[in-house]
Structure 1
Amino acid sequence: MLKLLIIVAALLKFNSIVKANGGPRSCTGSRNEIYLNPGPNCERTCRNLDEECLKVYVMPPSGCYCRPGFARNEAGRCIPIRLCGRTK
């Protein structure tokens, strides 16, 4: 009975941690996105590939961000970086 009580207490604690972190989320935009909590300080876009990120958050906003190797285009979709059309 004590083991069962310990297991139930552990599950309740785990459930509260998951809820505090926003819970597991998925992004519906495309499979090239991933939900991050917290997110990065700067989102990679085709327009800012060559810029340094100067933002620093105490707690970066959570949300859907492009997976590594992808950047958000002007239409708001995550595309492979090689398709961004950089001239450099």
Structure 2
Amino acid sequence: MQRRLAAILIADVAGYGSLSDANEEETRAQFQVGLKDILGPAIAANNGRLVKTTGDGLLVEFRSVVDALRCASEGQGGTEPVLRG
């Protein structure tokens, strides 16, 4: 078995429960748009691999902490307008 270091990014959408209570289908659709249009490119640009999505969260693997932090920073600012509508 080959061992290697990895940085793991776990993200969760703040306020997703409240948004989902108001309109579950629209909130889910907006999250998918954010994942495809904002987070997906940020993950790819920073050498990440999307491991899993769970409702309002995701788990991403990176080869370095710097890549994970850069992706988190890019994604954090980009998703807020999408979820606010």
Q: Which structure's CA Rg is the greater one?
A: 1
Higher fraction of helix:
2
Greater RCO (CA < 8 Å, at least 6 residues apart): 2
Interval containing the TM-score (normalised by the shorter chain)? under 0.3
Give the TM-score normalised by structure 1. Answer: 0.26
